[in-house]
Amino acid sequence: MSILNNWLVKPHQTETKFLEWGQEYPHLVELDSICQYVGLNAYSITLTDKSISLDQKEKLIFAVPHAHEPAGTAACMNYINQILTGKHLDQTESEIYNREEILQKCVLTFLSDPNPDGRSRSPVDYWDGTKYTNEEFWTFMRGRDPETKKMWKRMDRWSIQNENPETIGIVYEQVSSHEYVEPNRDFGSAYFRLIKRAGEKYGYGRWLDLHQTEFEKSKYNAMIILPIIQNELPEHIKQANVEWADAIVDSWKKCGAQPMPESKPLGYTGQQAEYFKRTWREFMPIIPKITTEIQNNNLRTPPEMQEKLEEEAIKVSVDLLIRSKA
Ligand SMILES: [Zn+2]
């Protein structure tokens, strides 16, 4: 069986599914979309039993900010399919036995690929470490520097009027005739705009961002990152973040991964830290919010495993809240 049966990550694949789900399950599915500058639609999809009032429901949002990290997208798509149909995308039976309960008690919103502009420019559907070295991978991610031929710069918002990378990295989203942004670093991105809209409509209680990174020279291949302002957060939120992180790390161990045992706050310093702290204070609701990082582009963590671990993080997040309500 090809991995591609279970791996929907390109805009034409995800959009087709969203529209299909919206049509087949109108009582369970709400779609929202923003047309990016390049003309591709970025979607959010919300699952809940609409016959039951939103008031008492647990509200979670799951988002995949980076186009070069497709396993989170694949995981969202497979999880949504299981909740709606009882089956994985490859048509095998799902192990999730309490779908009705989840839909009755929760509002689950997914931004499985809020930058289809970037994703559509990705040369591969998954990064498995067989085709490109990490150095090559990074030149796809951020673009290629015309002089060094290595990875270009990390930029929040930049313009081709002032900058001339040899290629434009897939992490970036074009937002005007000449400007580009990294989605989770600029409020003009489809990612932030969709989250803001969903947030105003549903008011989330928890937020999980699904990321991937290379884990070069690390003995680990998965980790949870706590908020950069973890230590400034109210005690009950700090504690919720740690308990949530520990639950995911535990389940990853059972899947055979090598997760970092103790989750830590985002370790940026200097300008990067200031940027993230500012963003947090301006935009992030004060709710439990954590981030997954699953190994990308390495033989040690094949795409099936990447997807499984991201999906596990989604499952554990939902289970925790269902159990707390029981
Ligand atoms: Zn990322």
pLDDT in tens, the chain (326 residues): 456 678 999 999 999 999 999 999 999 999 999 999 999 999 999 999 999 999 999 999 999 999 999 999 999 999 999 999 999 999 999 999 999 999 999 999 999 999 999 999 999 999 999 999 999 999 999 999 999 999 999 988 999 999 999 999 999 999 999 999 999 999 999 999 999 999 999 999 999 999 999 999 999 999 999 999 999 999 999 999 999 999 999 999 999 999 999 999 988 888 888 888 888 888 888 899 999 999 999 999 999 999 999 999 999 999 999 988 76
- The 3-state DSSP class for residue 250 equals helix
Distance 169 CA to ligand 1 centre (A): 13
Whether pTM exceeds 0.95: yes
Output the pLDDT for position 1: 40
Kindly give the distance from the C-alpha atom of residue 325 to the centroid of ligand 1, in angstroms, as a whole number. 31
Distance 211 CA to ligand 1 centre (A): 4
pLDDT of residue 249: 98
Instruction: Say if CB 51 and CB 132 are below 8 A apart.
Output: no
How far is ligand 1, taken at its centre, from the CA of residue 183, in Å?
10
- Here the tokens at position 27 are 């009582």
CA of 212 to the centre of ligand 1 (A): 5
Q: Which residues contact 235 (CB under 8 A, 6 or more apart)?
A: none
**In the block, residue with structure tokens 């009755």:** 104
Distance CA 264, CA 70 (A): 24
Position 16 scores a pLDDT of 97
71: CA distance to ligand 1 center in Å? 11
For 228, the token pair is 């950069």
Task: Give start-end residues of each CATH 3.40.630.10 domain in the chain.
Answer: 3-120+184-325
Residue 275 has a pLDDT of 81
What is the CATH code of the structural domain delimited by 3-120+184-325?
Answer: 3.40.630.10
